[in-house]
Amino acid sequence: DAGITQSPRHKVTETGTPVTLRCHQTENHRYMYWYRQDPGHGLRLIHYSYGVKDTDKGEVSDGYSVSRSKTEDFLLTLESATSSQTSVYFCAIKGSLDWQFVKYFGPGTRLTVL
């Protein structure tokens, strides 16, 4: 158990509304990530953070912003939700296994944009 929680776990919203998803971790990990998972695409990196106030874009960052004001919390915001952002969103932290970096995931948030 990597000590990661996500909220909300499920959300239905309407096109054009702002949405914020929260990821919370209890183990003081420096790196945190937001992914989305869609059929036919697998897991794709949206944004990641390498410390408080330090964030960078992933491969599918358009339409998303993030913030990290505390080590334990990483927020993902959809400024104006669109139907193409209907997806399952996973937060992850970077851990280590032997000499390698691995990812441990939170339980996911299922977002539907109508």
Give the residues lining the site for another protein (CB under 8 A). Answer: 31, 40-43, 45, 48, 50, 56, 90, 94, 97-98, 100-108, 110
By beta-carbon proximity to another protein, the closer residue of 16 and 51 is 51
Tell me how far, at minimum, the Cβ of 11 lies from another protein, in Å: 15
Tell me how far, at minimum, the Cβ of 107 lies from another protein, in Å: 5
Rounded distance between C-alpha atoms, residue 15 and residue 101, angstroms: 37
Phi (first) and psi of residue 111, to 5 degrees: -110, 130
Bridge-based pairing of strands 100-105 and 73-78 is unpaired
Q: Bridge partners of 23?
A: 6, 74
Question: What is the DSSP secondary structure assignment for residue 96, as one 8-state letter?
Answer: E
By beta-carbon proximity to another protein, the closer residue of 19 and 106 is 106
Tell me how far, at minimum, the Cβ of 42 lies from another protein, in Å: 4
